[in-house]
Amino acid sequence: MFNYFYPNRPMLVPPDPKDPLSPKRDYIDGLEASGKYVAELKWNGDNALDYTDDTTLWNRHHQHLAYRPSPEMADELHRFPKGCIVNGELVNRLTKTVKHLFIVHCVMAWKGKLLMGKSWGDSRKILEDYNGYGEHVKLSEIHTKGFWELFQSAAGSTVIEGIVLKNPTGILKFSSTPLADVSWMLKIRHPSARVGSF
């Protein structure tokens, strides 16, 4: 059984440094054109760590989550091998229309081996090779183009907050104390997304 490790956190960046409340596509198009990043949707949920030896769920502040999975979700969580730390977004508390959904976006340990010093791309490859996902535990979708359109899909949404850009070569770092935000992962919130407690 692993001790608790704080997960890597993305840097929060404005959608347009020149006009954060009225983003234009030039800035996000520029991030896409750099070729450094892939994009994921940022769901309106709680960052959660699944320790698969006993399927305990923790938040990113080293606290147990006061959440009871549905029987269907619990079954899918138990499919992961023992000795893993799976990091994802638990979509339940903050949304009305989506419940009991765990969007997996990183694995910090796999079958007893901590992925310290490996890249996020290495973590992603492990998750893509795993075939135990279901209706309630899903692997995040990654996009290599269309970042602006993906970002705009969060406009007015109560479920999607924005996008997260990740450099697949970014190195995973874990610690028993809180970590600084990592520069290879950028979170961009949409100013019109209606996220929070509903």
Q: What is the pLDDT of residues 54-64, one digit of tens each?
A: 989 999 999 99
Mean pLDDT for 22-44 is 95
Per-residue pLDDT at 18: 85
Mean pLDDT for 131-146 is 98
Question: Which one of 3.40.50.300, 3.30.450.20, 3.40.50.720, 3.30.470.30 gives the CATH number of domain 10-171+182-189?
Answer: 3.30.470.30
* Nearest alpha carbon to residue 40 among 144, 115, 181, 126: 144
What integer best gives the mean pLDDT of the chain? 94
Give the H/E segment covering residue 184.
Answer: strand 182-189
Name the amino acid, one letter, at 24.
Answer: K
23 close to 13: Cβ distance less than 8 angstroms: no
